[in-house]
Amino acid sequence: MSTALLQELHQEVRRLYIAGSELAAGDFRLKRLLPQFQQLGERAPVFKRLGEGIAALLEPSAQQTQTSAETLQDLGLLLSSVLRTQGTISPEGELTAVKSRPNSLSTKLSYRKLAAVQEALTTTGSGRYEVIVQAFEAGMFQDLRLLKHAIAALNDPYIDIAECAMNRILPSYGPQIVPHLIELFNPSGGKLETRKLRVIGQVGGEEVADLIYQAAESGSDDVRVTAIELLAGREQYEEALLGWTKDKKKAIREAAYHALAAGGSARAVDRLYEAFSSKDIELAAEASFKCHSSELTKRLVRDLGLELKQASEAKEKEDKKKIEALWTKIQHFLTALDGKRSEALYDVFVHVTNHYSFFVSLGWLELFDAAAYYLEQTDTEAALALLHELEQHNVRYMPHSFRSSFRLLSPAQLYERYVESMRNKWKLQTNRDLAKRKKQLLSSIEQKVMSREYRPYPILWSIPNETVPLSTVVMLPLEQLAAQWDHRWLDWLIEQNALELVCAFAHPGHVAAKQFMIGKLESNPEFRNAFAGMLLSGLERAGVSDDVRWEALVTALEDKRNTNCYVFEGHVLEQLYQLPSAYCDRLAAVLSKFKYTAGEQLRYVVETMQAAESAANTSKPV
């Protein structure tokens, strides 16, 4: 066959190009080919020419002007042209019908749109995630040409992209994606395969249950863990899940416990409960935390009670090891019971609170944390009494007790409970315990009446139609505050020098509060911390007239201590906007002191004032 011969010549010519044409003269492999070409050349002129080329290469004659390189180039050129006319076009193998996979995808996207996403999905570098998410949100992944890339994205080195593909992009294709993933799925693979499996499980429905089971049975460890997780709640595989809780590998057991807990059947509960008395107690505890079975809660509470009782016995015997073992176990019970509610559990926590000194002597403080949390949620008088008891024992529980009191007691009762009953004690400024108590109380009140937020403000000073988040203090509206809180708080807060809370509680007509705040502003005029802004809003709440507030604001700005302010808080900014233009000159005078954003903000205020003034002047008849 002549094509084979041409290919052979091509290989030889290629070899000579690599080795150098100088070596062509007398090359014996080339020589061996020559007779065949000469023979074929008798019938086909092309072969004759090729034969001549070979001959010229083999024996450069003296009268020949061409160099060997030129001869080789001529031969190579001719040969490649000839070879190009000899290409085979038929496929190898038996042809059958195309295994078509019907889908709903189109090819309507233009190159520029598509290429940007393809690039993001196939390269590395920054900014890719946004491109991909935006493309997804614009529905671009419904283009057929992105399907392959979307699947490949599961293996993206940037984990957010891989997870976006797993959680959002691929599930959006619906069940039609499943066969593609199954085809590519390799149960013995690593993280990538778990992502594929998760998508399969998510959109595949009942049909893929068996595949998942197979993966759980015989896949790699990572794949098994994911598969077991996906089998949660499928009754037919419960038996298998129970079996896996006895697996040698911890990760498998863990996954199995979690899957059982999510299912929550009677047998699952039995198994989880059983695990509490084995080495798997930690795994079982974490799994049980997610289990909603009341039966399991009942059993665990009962056991917790028993363990606590054993503690006193152990203490008597001074068996330190035993106590330590009990505590480990109890901690697991607490983990499992976190967030669960039952009467029996309430009784357990009552018991715990009533034996405060005993359990504290063991150092089991977390027990009380759990109790305080539980009791706070209970919202009954009895629970409140217990919380108060805890609070007396340890000031750490004051926030729980205060929140609960706030809900259950009247405003007057609350005040009396926290201030009046200890009237005399509060005066002892030096007591350390008392200082702690005061701090807790003030912060508990603060949580109820004020919060700090970032609110968007239009950037009037440079880009008016965009906003920037500025820190602001949000306080409870005055009427609400008056209804929920006793009026005596304010006096006490002034007494305690609680600046921020005085601002929040200040109400019109309270002279002492007003004086307190003005005094504070004079001594703390720095706008770089939040006090000045807060004092200004406090003065506003106290109903102090505008001129007094404006004067206070401008005086504070003028104060020489006011230097390092980078940006004015939202509230201060609002106050600045309200200033009448009479203050223009005074503001202009201090402008140089403020730099960065604060400077721009202030300059904007001054310029607006000047503009308003000149407008007013021109409109006036002369």
Enumerate binding residues for another protein (CB under 8 A): 3, 7, 10, 13-14, 16-23, 67-70, 72-74, 76-77, 80-81, 83-103, 105, 107-108, 110-116, 144-145, 147-148, 463, 465
Closest distance of CB 93 from another protein, Å: 4
Pairwise CA distance, residues 584 & 295, whole Å = 73
Hey, what are 498's tokens?
């609680």
Residue 104 or 617: the one with the smaller Cβ distance to another protein is: 104
Distance separating alpha carbons of residues 606 and 140, to the nearest angstrom:
49
Nearer to another protein, 55 or 140 (CB): 140
Task: Compute CA distances 308 → 327, 332, 347, 394, whole Å.
Answer: 9, 13, 12, 21
Q: Which residues contact 261 (CB under 8 A, 6 or more apart)?
A: 268, 272, 287, 288, 289, 290, 291
CB of 146 to another protein, least distance (A): 11
Q: Which helix (H) or strand (E) holds 452?
A: strand 450-459
Q: Nearest distance from residue 151's CB to another protein, in Å?
A: 11
Q: Smallest distance from the beta carbon of 12 to another protein, in angstroms?
A: 12
Q: Is 23 within 8 Å of 16 (Cβ atoms)?
A: yes
Short-list 412, 318, 328, CA closest to 366: 328
Residue whose CB is less far from another protein, 173 or 415: 173
Region at 26 (left for phi over 0; alpha for psi -120 to 50; beta for the rest): left
CB of 168 to another protein, least distance (A): 20
CA separation (Å) from 513 to 128, 256, 471? 56, 63, 25
**What's phi and psi for 111, nearest 5 deg?**
-55, -50
Using CA atoms, how far apart are residues 570 and 471, in angstroms rounded to an integer? 6
Q: Which is nearer to another protein, 62 or 98 (CB)?
A: 98
25 phi/psi in degrees, rounded to 5: -60, 120
**Cβ nearer to another protein, comparing 68 with 575:** 68
The answer to whether 267 and 274 have CB atoms below 8 angstroms apart is no
Pick the closer one to another protein by CB: 93 or 509.
93
Minimum distance from CB of 78 to another protein (Å)? 9
Is there a contact between 526 and 561 (Cβ–Cβ < 8 Å)? yes
Tokens of 174: 């619906």
Distance of CA 367 to the CA centre of its chain: 31
Task: Give 45 or 91: the residue with its C-beta nearer to another protein.
Answer: 91
**Least distance from C-beta 178 to another protein, angstroms?**
14
What single DSSP character describes residue 24? G
In angstroms, rounded to a whole number, what is the distance separating the alpha carbons of residues 591 and 610? 14
Shortest reach from residue 19's CB to another protein, in Å: 5
CB of 25 to another protein, least distance (A): 12
**Which token pair is 186?**
């390799």
Distances (CA, A) of 515 to 411, 503, 532: 26, 12, 15
* Shortest distance in whole angstroms from residue 591 CB to another protein: 20
Note the residue count of the chain.
Answer: 622
At CA 54, angle to CA 49 and CA 58, rounded to 5?
A: 145
Asked whether 339 and 313 are in contact (CB, 8 A), the reply is no
Residue 622's Cβ-side half-sphere holds a number of Cα atoms within 13 Å equal to: 1
Residue whose tokens read 């509206």: 477
C-alpha dihedral sign at 311, 317, 318, 322: negative
Angle at 570 between CA 568 and CA 572, to 5 degrees: 60
Q: Which residue number, 463 or 591, has a Cβ lying nearer to another protein? A: 463
CB of 302 to another protein, least distance (A): 59
Closer to another protein by Cβ: residue 39 or 86: 86
Nearer to another protein, 49 or 113 (CB): 113
Q: Residue 124: left if φ>0, alpha if ψ -120 to 50, beta else—which one?
A: beta
**Nearest CB to another protein, comparing residues 28 and 617:** 28
Question: Shortest Cβ distance from residue 7 to another protein (Å)?
Answer: 6
DSSP 279-336: TTHHHHHHHHHT---HHHHHHHHHHHHHHHHHHHHHHHHT-HHHHHHHHHHHHHHHHH
Instruction: Report the residue number, 88 or 430, with the smaller CB distance to another protein.
Output: 88
> What does the alpha-carbon distance between residue 181 and residue 184 come to, in Å, rounded to a whole number?
5
Closest CB to another protein among 90 and 618?
90
Considering the complex, what minimum distance in angstroms separates the CB of residue 256 from another protein? Answer: 38
Q: Which is nearer to another protein, 20 or 580 (CB)?
A: 20
Across-strand partners of 455?
470
Kindly state the smallest distance separating residue 572's Cβ from another protein, in Å.
26
Closer CB to another protein, 196 or 332, in the complex: 196
Closest contact distance (angstroms) between CB of 61 and another protein is: 18
The single residue listed with the structure tokens 């009552």 is 350
